[in-house]
Structure 1
Amino acid sequence: MESSSALGNISIVATAAVYVVVGCLVVLLPALVVAFAYTTRRSKTDNAGDSDDATAAASGTTQKLSQYEVHKQHERTEGAEQVLITGGAGFLGSYLVDELVRRPATDVHVFDLRLPDSKRRCPRVASYTRGDVTDLEHVTKALAGIHTVFHVAGVSSHDLDVAVTKKMTYKINVTGTENIVRACKENGVKKLIFTSTCIATLGKNDREAKGWTEAQPYPEEPVNEYASSKIAAEKIVRKANGRAGLATCVVRPAGMFGIGDNIMADMALRGKDNYYIGDGTAHLDVIDVYSAVHGHLCAAKHLSPAGNKPPIAAGKTYNITGGRPVMYKEFFGGLCKGRESFWGHRPPKKIPVQIASLFASVNEIVYNAFGVVPFARSLTKLSVDLTQRTYWFDNSLAAKEIGYSPLKSWRNAVDDVVKDYRHRLRPQSQPNPHSIP
């Protein structure tokens, strides 16, 4: 009995000690982080001038882009389809550009808030235009003479590096889409393909979404402001279908990965932030960026009339997904045995949800106060929460109506990404617009 009592006392003391340590961390960690953030901010101030207009806009700056710039690389080809990609210098947009320039009788035009430097521009692109989707005048000028628009541009509140206010999220994702639709009508554009997101139908209280189709109704309370803005934009795009000769379509890609994505593949390839949160058994929907591009092109193809039949994709919404869900820790190599996962680094370690949530809270507080991110840039309270949800979406409608299917499995896509990444690390390799800087 005395032994049992002693063990009980030891257990109580040990538990109390753990609470004291955790309490100290809760109290001291924010102070240490704030001090770090202050030092970092001072350093950034001393080296001002490195940020571009895109970063400023994404950080919530409401100043309108003052200059509209067109960099024409060659004249428009007579009889060729004129295609414009908003956000064409971004992750998905740049891969879409790479595919479109290979197509015959197609002139490709890039419209973005930021542009790649002259050495990294594709010579086969007809023009690069620096403009702002929230400026109707910019958009109207850019769409003159264009036949097809891929509206990929937008901002996401998932990544703290491009964290934006609710007002800016709405302005770019909703007002920007309104401007695109209006300019399409005024310029006689024939086809508009809008990039949305699969989580548009995910509600704040939905812990599971298994095989949801496009028929899933919008939630009363979307999972976040980003999803809410995409819902509003989807409605604008579908409403515009059939007006002024414009055929529209909405595509909802799953979580995309590939070289240059800045979150999923980039972290895994670098071996940075190599962990998974909780038990890692939740399932998510992922898709390689080439399959996402393929889905956009399938939608565009089926916005053209087939004989006497109207375009089958007109006014429709399609899930562009990987075909099957993958376990969270499996995707990041957490099931791999040995010293190295298929990403080329040690298998990730597990972090308790409570600890991740604490660090995420500090991350957001410091960012909001100082504009810097002390921990992983993708570590937010929402991102932590999403890792504990199972959500994947059915793509059978896209397969049936527009002929979409993933180009490869997620596992084969990872192997290709790792192989490509290692090739680009070689000194003789040529610069690539998707390379990790």
Structure 2
Amino acid sequence: MGGAERWCVVTGGRGFAARHLVEMLIRYGMFHVRVVDLGPSIKLEPYEQKGTLAEALRSGVAQYASADLRNKAQVLKALQDVEVVFHMAAPDSSINNHQLHYSVNVEGTKNVIEACIEQKVKRLIYTSSPSVVFDGVHAIINGDESLPYPKKHNDTYSATKAEGEALVIKANGRDGLLTCCIRPSSIFGPGDRLLVPSLVDAARAGKSKAYFITNMEPIKFWEFVSLILEGLGYERPRIKIPAFVMMPIAHLVEWTYKLLAPYGMKVPQLTPSRIRLLSKSRTFNSSKAKDRLGYAPIVSLQEGLNKTIESYSDLRRDHHRIADTLLWKDKKQTLAVALVLIAFYYNFVASGDTFVTVISRLVLVAVVFLFIHGKLPQKILGYKIEKIPASSFHFSQEMSSQFAVSVASSWNETVNVLISLCKGRDWMLFLKVVFFLLIINFLGVVSLQSLFRIGIPILFVAFYVYEKKEQEIDALVLKVVSFGHKQKSGISIVK
């Protein structure tokens, strides 16, 4: 990996923002760029095949190195003969896994710092997050770098990013290493070049500080979402649900994900930490980055929105079956789904059979379907019959390992919850456990038949009625909430 050239490294170099940083560094021309990520080899997207990175890889201006930040030996090798490191690697923030976040954001960052010192790296720029100063409870208006870390963060991702940031700042000046942390806010868009100039300038400045990076055009989150949706041909969100109503549902969704994640359930969008994040105002002041780094947004908010909308033309409104079904916009489709659900109910739910019987019957139906499907010819009346590949039913070694790790992680998390409860200090955790057990108790009392009979009609009727009578229902809910607050105030006064 040696050579007379000046090299820089981008960890997590195949991430969204990091890809654009890599391209700009290549165009900038000051450094050769080493892209470091987990994959054994680099796989370019179709749009990258003839782009800047592909040409740089062919010419030797860029190279790829596979490394796990949790393995110091691999990090040392990746940082060999490097002058500047842009540390951008981090797990998906939506995954609420403390062990994963801690091992990468804290222990991995420690390895990067130690490797920088051992390899005589001159500058380390750490990509942090505005969430490091957010507790999930208090809003932040025009916050700047003087904000302290909260005692308790909104989620494990934010907490571990804060720990990593503190380590990087503390490492400034050790054996000649200069460090800097940048907190980019709300990255979006295909040409997201807002962060890159500040990162390059920070590599020159070498001052151990943290800087908020925004486009200096504050906008309400839901207004931002509405502009994106309207640009793609969708209606603005009109349903307004209080956060306190959604929070219990989010906790249930999060618990369901933890239970079913080993079986392939995708990370849900509705989580408690995300609701807290979206229901609190957060604006940040970038004056420090502007004054000390010469930072200025390259792309305006409107231009960024336009480019984002153009790049996602494949997501323009053409079909959204679930919404159309529930709102009766496609009556044939709605009736078809309703008939399928009714058939399922009478064959598998209303019979009152045991759980084992229902499962065996479902397996029987699946076996019959697969057998008939396998016997069908490749084409029927000109229509091609897609065959299900055998690999779809295989359980790979990687999946087995992930399942084992998930089971162990769930067990350890449960033990940690019990330990915390035994200490008797965390009231919020206690209330969560009580609420969860009450839900289990409710589900145990109500039969599956009752849930199906009540839930399905509500699902098909409630959304339709709300769309037609939105203003009246919102006004009624507001009156009920106001009445409840008045009653509560009255009781408090009497006391």
- Describe how 1:407-422 pairs up with structure 2 within 5 A: 407-422=298-313
**Distance of 1:240 and 1:406 partners within structure 2:** 29
Gaps of 5+ in 1: 1-74, 260-287, 304-313, 426-437
Residues 78-127 of structure 1 deviation map (CA, whole Å, 9 limit, x = unaligned)? 3x320100000111111111111112242110111125425656321421
Residues 166-195 of structure 1 deviation map (CA, whole Å, 9 limit, x = unaligned)? 122111100000000000000010110001
CA 1:319 to 1:152, structure 2 compared with 1: closer, same or farther past 3 Å? same
Equivalent in 63, 69, 79 of residue 127 of structure 1: 63
The offset of 1:386, in angstroms, is 1.5
The offset of 1:374, in angstroms, is 6.7
- Describe how 1:124-163 pairs up with structure 2 within 5 A: 124-125=56-57, 126-157=62-93, 159=94, 163=95
Name the counterpart of 2:99. Answer: 167
**Distance of 1:256 and 1:344 partners within structure 2:** 22
Residues 271-297 of structure 1 deviation map (CA, whole Å, 9 limit, x = unaligned)? xxxxxxxxxxxxxxxxx8310223222
Contact 1:100–1:108, Cα closer than 8 Å, also in 2: yes
CA 1:132 to 1:103, structure 2 compared with 1: closer, same or farther past 3 Å? same
- How high is the TM-score relative to the length of structure 2? 0.57
Aligned sequence identity (%): 29
**Structure with max Cα Rg:** 2
Residue 347 of structure 1 aligns to a residue whose secondary structure is coil
Name the counterpart of 2:181. Answer: 250
- Describe how 1:255-266 pairs up with structure 2 within 5 A: 255-259=186-190
- Describe how 1:350-369 pairs up with structure 2 within 5 A: 350-353=239-242, 356-369=246-259
The offset of 1:404, in angstroms, is 0.5
The offset of 1:373, in angstroms, is 7.8
The aligned amino acid for 2:71 is D
Name the counterpart of 1:228. Answer: 159
CA 1:105 to 1:322, structure 2 compared with 1: closer, same or farther past 3 Å? closer
Residue 332 of structure 1 aligns to a residue whose secondary structure is helix
Equivalent in 156, 177, 200 of residue 109 of structure 2: 177
**Distance of 1:184 and 1:375 partners within structure 2:** 36
Equivalent in 325, 330, 337 of residue 218 of structure 2: 325
**Distance of 2:280 and 2:90 partners within structure 1:** 24
Please tell me whether residue 111 in structure 1 is matched to residue 2 in structure 2: no
Residue 173 of structure 2 aligns to a residue whose secondary structure is coil
- How high is the TM-score relative to the length of structure 1? 0.64
Equivalent in 359, 368, 383 of residue 274 of structure 2: 383
CA 1:345 to 1:382, structure 2 compared with 1: closer, same or farther past 3 Å? same
Residue 226 of structure 2 aligns to a residue whose secondary structure is coil
The offset of 1:358, in angstroms, is 4.7
Residues 24-51 of structure 1 deviation map (CA, whole Å, 9 limit, x = unaligned)? xxxxxxxxxxxxxxxxxxxxxxxxxxxx
Residue 400 of structure 1 aligns to a residue whose secondary structure is helix
Name the counterpart of 1:191. Answer: 123
Name the counterpart of 2:237. Answer: 348
The offset of 1:345, in angstroms, is 2.9
Please tell me whether residue 84 in structure 1 is matched to residue 3 in structure 2: no
Give the helix-richer structure, 1 or 2.
2
CA 1:362 to 1:373, structure 2 compared with 1: closer, same or farther past 3 Å? farther
Name the counterpart of 1:428. Answer: none
**Distance of 1:84 and 1:94 partners within structure 2:** 12
- Higher normalized contact order (CA 8 Å, seq sep 6+, divided by chain length): 1
Equivalent in 376, 400, 405 of residue 291 of structure 2: 400
Please tell me whether residue 301 in structure 1 is matched to residue 219 in structure 2: no
Contact 1:76–1:107, Cα closer than 8 Å, also in 2: no
**Distance of 1:296 and 1:91 partners within structure 2:** 15
Count how many residue pairs are aligned between Structure 1 and Structure 2.
303
The offset of 1:376, in angstroms, is 7.6
Contact 2:106–2:164, Cα closer than 8 Å, also in 1: yes
CA 1:384 to 1:128, structure 2 compared with 1: closer, same or farther past 3 Å? same
CA 1:346 to 1:210, structure 2 compared with 1: closer, same or farther past 3 Å? same
Give the strand-richer structure, 1 or 2.
1
CA-based RMSD of the aligned residues comes to 2.5
Please tell me whether residue 205 in structure 1 is matched to residue 137 in structure 2: yes
